[in-house]
């Protein structure tokens, strides 16, 4: 990083508990009971960083549902990807999936969701934050990461700084911009307990529309739909991967996300692919989705093809 750059940065004028500093996540510590955290829509985070030539997992601001005002305290180049949250710069509309210049004194605002749920704001080299257990990803429950290292979300009066120069601005190929189509089909790799669900439940799982429950957060997305039944009465708790689809006794699945617990004892249909998890992160409460099975090998091939988008850039 270039540490000679100005550090005026951005001053937080208005924020909410849903706006956090995130990066690619915290790995190698689950044996300590510490969860992964990190950006929910990792694809949008990657693109925001790619637009500035940053490391793809550099620290970004994850803006969930908008309601954020930032005062620019230096001239800079920033980048925005992910949801359309009605962003504007001094009242002029600001579209996602591009880099843009700001001048000292300008006001950057994010209003309400228009399309998608989460936007990602990147700065040259990534935002400055203390590294805690290998990451600055914020998680309030465990009081880790974030701007102050204590897991708290961004608050009014705080200062966001960076030390990069932003001299490697890029433009996205429009064909690569993710499209958040309604009623997405989310691919799921079936898990070890799939055979314990009744045939009717398996049919319902993959042939019904599921609705996002309002009781959803960064720990997990609850799905409302047909009641799934599992013949297994109990099981020993086991490690929980990102995107695991647990089915508790009420038969309503929960997709476990970045702030999930490290182990769990409910049977699982399987796990969403990483790409499906990113798409799920852009779904608002009340939206519908469908689950569709995919073989593990096919899911791995699709993931590698996706990663090649950034390698070729």
- Can you list the domains of the chain with their CATH numbers? 10-176 (no CATH), 185-312 (2.40.100.10)
Mean pLDDT of 72-95: 97
DSSP state of 81: E
Give yes or no for a contact between 201 and 230, defined as CB atoms under 8 angstroms apart: yes
Which residue's structure tokens are 């601001």?
A: 61
* Rounded CA separation 311/276 (Å): 20
* Rounded CA separation 264/256 (Å): 10
Q: Percent of the chain having pLDDT more than 90?
A: 87
Mean pLDDT of 222-248: 92
From 117, 62, 119, select the one nearest 88 (Cα to Cα).
Answer: 119
Mean pLDDT of 93-101: 96
* Rounded CA separation 1/59 (Å): 13
State residue 312's pLDDT score: 67
In the predicted model, is pLDDT for residue 129 greater than 70? yes
β pairing state of 10-14 and 68-72: antiparallel
State residue 3's pLDDT score: 36
DSSP state of 112: S
pLDDT, tens only, 174-203: 999 999 999 999 999 999 899 999 999 999
* Paired tokens of 48: 């925001």
Q: Which residues contact 170 (CB under 8 A, 6 or more apart)?
A: 50, 51, 52, 53, 99, 313
Q: Which residues contact 305 (CB under 8 A, 6 or more apart)?
A: none
State residue 96's pLDDT score: 96
DSSP state of 39: -
* Rounded CA separation 34/266 (Å): 20
In the predicted model, is pLDDT for residue 18 greater than 60? yes
CA dihedral 33, 285, 120, 261 (to 10 degrees): 0
State residue 165's pLDDT score: 80
pLDDT, tens only, 48-74: 999 999 999 999 999 999 999 999 999
DSSP state of 135: B
Provide the H-helix boundaries in the chain.
42-50, 199-207, 274-280, 296-312
DSSP state of 286: T
Mean residue pLDDT of the chain comes to 94
State residue 7's pLDDT score: 55
Q: What is the 3-state secondary structure (H, E, C) of 154-210?
A: CCCCCEECECCCCCCCCCCCHHHCCCCCCCCEEEEEECCCHHHECHHHHHHHHHCCE
Phi-psi region of 22 (alpha: psi -120 to 50; beta: other; left: phi over 0): beta
List strands edge to edge, sheet with 68-72: 92-93, 88-89, 107-110, 68-72, 10-14, 159-160
């Amino acid at each position: 990083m270039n540490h000679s750059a100005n550090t005026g940065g951005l001053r937080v004028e208005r924020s909410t508990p849903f706006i956090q500093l995130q990066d690619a996540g915290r790995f190698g510590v689950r044996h300590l009971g510490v969860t992964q955290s990190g950006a929910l829509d990792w694809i949008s985070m990657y693109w925001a960083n790619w637009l500035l030539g940053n490391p793809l997992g550099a620290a970004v601001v994850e803006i969930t549902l908008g309601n954020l005002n930032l005062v620019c305290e230096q001239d800079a180049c920033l980048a925005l990807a992910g949801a359309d949250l009605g962003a504007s710069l001094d009242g002029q509309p600001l579209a996602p999936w591009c880099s843009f210049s700001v001048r000292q004194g300008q006001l950057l605002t994010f209003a309400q969701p228009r399309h998608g749920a989460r936007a990602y704001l990147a700065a040259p080299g990534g935002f400055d934050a203390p590294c805690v257990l290998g990451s600055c990803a914020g998680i309030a429950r465990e009081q880790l990461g974030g701007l102050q290292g204590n897991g708290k979300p961004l608050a009014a009066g705080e200062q966001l700084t960076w030390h990069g120069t932003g001299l490697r601005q890029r433009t996205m190929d429009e064909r690569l911009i993710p499209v958040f189509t309604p009623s997405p089909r989310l691919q799921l790799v079936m898990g070890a307990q799939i055979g314990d669900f009744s045939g009717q439940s398996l049919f319902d799982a993959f042939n019904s529309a599921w609705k996002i429950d309002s009781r959803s957060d960064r720990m997990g997305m609850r799905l409302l739909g047909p009641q799934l039944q599992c013949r297994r009465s109990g099981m020993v708790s086991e490690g929980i991967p990102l995107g695991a689809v647990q089915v508790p006794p009420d038969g309503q699945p929960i997709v476990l996300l970045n702030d999930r617990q490290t182990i769990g004892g409910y049977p699982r249909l399987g796990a969403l692919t990483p790409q499906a998890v990113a798409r799920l992160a852009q779904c608002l409460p009340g939206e519908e989705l469908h689950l569709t099975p995919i073989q593990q090998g096919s899911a791995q091939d699709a993931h590698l093809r996706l990663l090649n988008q950034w390698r070729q850039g």
